[in-house]
Structure 1
Amino acid sequence: MAKSFVSVGATILDIVGYPINSIPQGESTEVIQNIHLCAAGTAAAPAVTAARLGMQSSLIGAIAEDEAGFLIRHKLQQEGVDASLLQVRDDLPTATTILPINSDGGRPNWHQPGAFLLMDISAEARARIVNADHVHWGGIGLLFNYDGPAGAEILAEAKANGATITGDLISPGPQTPDAVRALIPHMDYFMPSIDEALEISGASTVEAAAEFFMQQGAFGCLIKCGSDGAYLTNKDGLVAKIPVMANVNVVDTSGCGDSYCAGFQVGLANGMAAEDAALFAAATAAQVASAVGSDGAVGNFEDTIAIMQAGAMPVEAQA
């Protein structure tokens, strides 16, 4: 039976257009190649990726009873993600982002904040989290009701029950360092981007940033460094630089970091050592980068293993 994966936090509808290199003037129309809708954000996107890679995946987040919320639930159902415990709120809309991806893969965006910011975790949702095999806390600093003791208490219980726990964030603000400090002691691996890691830690190098977070209580760090790969370290003395996959025709990098988090957890769930799980994560993110949207072109577990072992995307995938 597949191990359970529960992703908690940022739940966003992404509306992605590609390629968009300029805004049409006046009321003129420009024909583009692709408009894609997907369940996104630092919790919903990992939930989708984990489901595609064979895990029993659930999402704990919040939406509104609006069109965007309907579309998110529909997309999650299509992907085999259990969305039955999503909270539906009436005080905020469903968070939504419009991403006009340009021909170089750049991703400027317009964002409407929404319901996940004030999400409440029901007793049933809490039970799902604390009894999961794998938990990803996606949205540190933006889950305002759970960025302190309430969130730490849930993660501590999940950890005591044997869960493997990872955490990620997006758009750090003044409140984020305190949220990280509260939650990180209960995490196996903290997984920020390099820019986020340096901003929050005040460090000038990836190595110093990772050490800062481990001193705050994380067992390990896997810091995502974009085209430079990732930096992996833990308190057992592991230090590794994880390369990116070769032959990736980069179309859209939105969601690459989220898929990396999910891929790492899937690797660990399948018995991989941390370094191999990080390589599996890189193979997962490569598939996302090669297509439009945070779900990208992620295939199944076997396809991703083949990419990982080759260290490159298949040539035919780049046509």
Structure 2
Amino acid sequence: MMGIVTIGETMVLFQPIEEKPLKYNSLFTKSIGGAESNVAIGLSRLGKKTRWVSRLGNDPFGDLIISTLAGENVDTSFVVRDDAYPTSIYFKDIYRIGEPCVYYYRKGSASSAWKPEHVDKRWFANARILHMTGITPALGEATLEFTMECMKMAKLMGLTVSFDPNIRFKLWDEQYAKQALLSLIPHCDIFLPGIKEAQFLFGEKSHEELAKEILELGPHTVAIKLGSDGAYGVRKNEEPVMVPGFKVEKVLDSVGAGDAFASGFLAIASDDIHHFSLEKAMEMGNKMGSIVIQGKGDWEVLPYLEEVIADTNSRTR
């Protein structure tokens, strides 16, 4: 049984070795980064079977991504290698603590060529959950339709669809982004926005009002990430749940925190997708996010299950 399928673009990441502005660096480390593959790695480290579906260039950068994901026990058997389009890259300016500045070079990438007719039923075979983000619909001319087709097919095959808007304003026009993301929400079952993302989509409202409005569009579960304040969640016909955040001494790198939350949340949800504890799912999501922001890297600092258990035990002593 394949627990969770994620679909999305992963890029090769270059980071300066020295902690000074990007333009003054001449030496870089090489890694990978992508929201959906981050979630797949996080879930795999928590003991869940995951499959990552993508398109990569038939180039050395694509080779690196495949080998890295395979090394994390993520199934990459449905990744397409494209001779006509390259693998994307991006650079991260990290000389300041906290929120880094990111520069993408992903226009015309292999993943930007996705079309609805590329969707394959085999991707979803024997899986419980499909997880996608709002990054994929921003990549190309037909990637919004591709994303919607993935969601529709997954639901037809009995999967629960999880969606994180993961808004990247550098990738598309704000007004179009809003319309596109709102069109996708009715096709998901679990919606995982940050508070600022939810307010961008639905207006400057409280998290309680936002969650209620989102539920009316179709999802049965909403969990709104509130940063250091924790998370607020609600299910249809159930009482809402507020889960506090975990205190951390210092935030080193906030990139990947939302993906860590999604991996923790879905790890709990996948155990019993129809009757899972919303409170426990958000607690695990918060825990994963709090661990990740204390280290540098999109996925490298995602904890293994035994580390999460050890962290939990240390907090309860």
Unmatched runs of 5 consecutive residues or more in structure 2 = none
State the AA in 2 paired with 1:37.
S
**2:124 matches 1:129:** yes
Helix, strand or coil: the match of 2:101? coil
State the AA in 2 paired with 1:159.
K
Matches within 5 A, 1:99-118: 99-113=92-106, 114-118=109-113
d(CA) in 2 for partners of 1:94, 1:305: 36
d(CA) in 2 for partners of 1:70, 1:208: 45
Partner of 1:164: 160
d(CA) in 2 for partners of 1:279, 1:153: 31
Per-residue CA distance 1:95-151 (angstroms, 9 max, x = gap): 222112234222111111133233247778432225411210123532553524x54
Q: 221-230 or 50-59, which moves further after superposition?
A: 221-230
State the AA in 1 paired with 2:5.
V
- 1:16 offset after TM fit, Å? 3.3
Return closer, same or farther for 1:111/1:236 CA change in 2, 3 Å cut-off. Answer: same
Return closer, same or farther for 1:17/1:98 CA change in 2, 3 Å cut-off. Answer: same
C-alpha contact 2:44 2:74 (8 A) present in aligned 1: yes
TM-score w.r.t. the length of structure 2 is: 0.84
State the AA in 1 paired with 2:305.
F
State the AA in 2 paired with 1:261.
A
Matches within 5 A, 1:289-300: 289-300=293-304
What is the root-mean-square deviation in Å for CA atoms of aligned residues? 2.9
Partner of 1:317: none
Helix, strand or coil: the match of 2:211? helix
Per-residue CA distance 1:63-113 (angstroms, 9 max, x = gap): 212232222112112111111211223443222221122342221111111
- 1:59 offset after TM fit, Å? 0.7
State the AA in 1 paired with 2:15.
V
**2:35 matches 1:42:** yes
State the AA in 2 paired with 1:211.
K
d(CA) in 1 for partners of 2:16, 2:292: 15
d(CA) in 2 for partners of 1:131, 1:186: 20
Partner of 2:89: 96
TM-score w.r.t. the length of structure 1 is: 0.83
- 1:290 offset after TM fit, Å? 1.9
C-alpha contact 1:65 1:90 (8 A) present in aligned 2: yes
- 1:181 offset after TM fit, Å? 3.4
d(CA) in 2 for partners of 1:29, 1:179: 39
State the AA in 1 paired with 2:14.
I
C-alpha contact 2:43 2:264 (8 A) present in aligned 1: yes
**2:264 matches 1:228:** no
- 1:277 offset after TM fit, Å? 0.9
State the AA in 2 paired with 1:298.
L
**2:8 matches 1:9:** yes
Q: 13-22 or 133-142, which moves further after superposition?
A: 13-22
d(CA) in 2 for partners of 1:259, 1:161: 27
Matches within 5 A, 1:75-94: 75-94=68-87
C-alpha contact 2:264 2:288 (8 A) present in aligned 1: yes
Helix, strand or coil: the match of 2:15? strand
- 1:291 offset after TM fit, Å? 1.6
State the AA in 2 paired with 1:16.
Q
Helix, strand or coil: the match of 1:295? coil
Partner of 1:22: 21
Return closer, same or farther for 1:102/1:9 CA change in 2, 3 Å cut-off. Answer: same
**2:298 matches 1:301:** no
State the AA in 1 paired with 2:78.
L
Helix, strand or coil: the match of 1:4? strand
Matches within 5 A, 1:252-291: 252-271=253-272, 272-291=276-295
C-alpha contact 2:185 2:218 (8 A) present in aligned 1: yes
> Identity of paired residues, percent?
24
d(CA) in 2 for partners of 1:23, 1:192: 30
Q: 156-165 or 63-72, which moves further after superposition?
A: 156-165
Partner of 2:207: 206
d(CA) in 1 for partners of 2:114, 2:126: 20
How many pairs are equivalent?
Answer: 305
Q: 271-280 or 242-251, which moves further after superposition?
A: 242-251
d(CA) in 1 for partners of 2:241, 2:293: 23
**2:148 matches 1:155:** no
Per-residue CA distance 1:41-73 (angstroms, 9 max, x = gap): 221111111111111111112221223222211
